[in-house]
Amino acid sequence: MENLEFYWRSLIVPIVVFAPNLLWFLFPPINILAEDEIKEPIALTILENIGRIGVIIIPLFYPLVVDNATSQYCLIAMIVLLLVYYAGWFRFVLKGRIYANCFLPLRWIPIPIPMAVCPVMYFILSAVLLKSNPMLIAALVLAIGHILISYRECQRIRKKLKGR
């Protein structure tokens, strides 16, 4: 059996995405929808959680490698996606912790549900830097669950905003 090797530096991949989520706990939204209004299909929640666990754990087993033009372009794209994602978090905190701001597009960039799309695309691209098919699979599983749950929540928010 081969020696199992851990690549601790590769944990930077999930850390830079999940660290801002601490803001949700430190500065919770002030107008979150009531729990009884949020009924997500269990299958989507399971997919999202399996994908989330995968993108956290899988990088431990693969070195982070930037060794050619493709990986350099992926790294640049990942940084841009992170900046857009962080802009979403800044908007959430600086604009009064309004729940809807976690799901609605940023004014200056036309990405729907950017706080769901950007981290998922980041993880998909990270599979290139990790040279890891399991990471790609985990990121795609996360994408299915996270983007669909966020899309449904965005639709609920838009409906509620129109009803005012």
Please compute the mean of the pLDDT values over residues 108-134 and round it to a whole number.
96
Q: Is pLDDT at 1 greater than 50 in this prediction?
A: no
Q: Which residues contact 103 (CB under 8 A, 6 or more apart)?
A: 113, 115, 116, 150, 153, 154, 157
Per-residue pLDDT band for 71 (boundaries 50, 70, 90) equals very high
pTM (2 d.p.): 0.92
- Judge whether 117 and 102 are in contact, CB under 8 Å: no
Alpha-carbon distances of 14 from 58, 67, 127, rounded to whole Å:
10, 20, 12
Give the per-residue pLDDT at 27: 87
Q: Is pLDDT at 135 greater than 90 in this prediction?
A: yes
Alpha-carbon distances of 93 from 15, 30, 85, 109, 121, rounded to whole Å:
19, 11, 13, 18, 23
* 119: nearest Cα among 100, 99, 155, 145: 145
Q: How far apart are CA 72 and CA 105, in angstroms?
A: 27
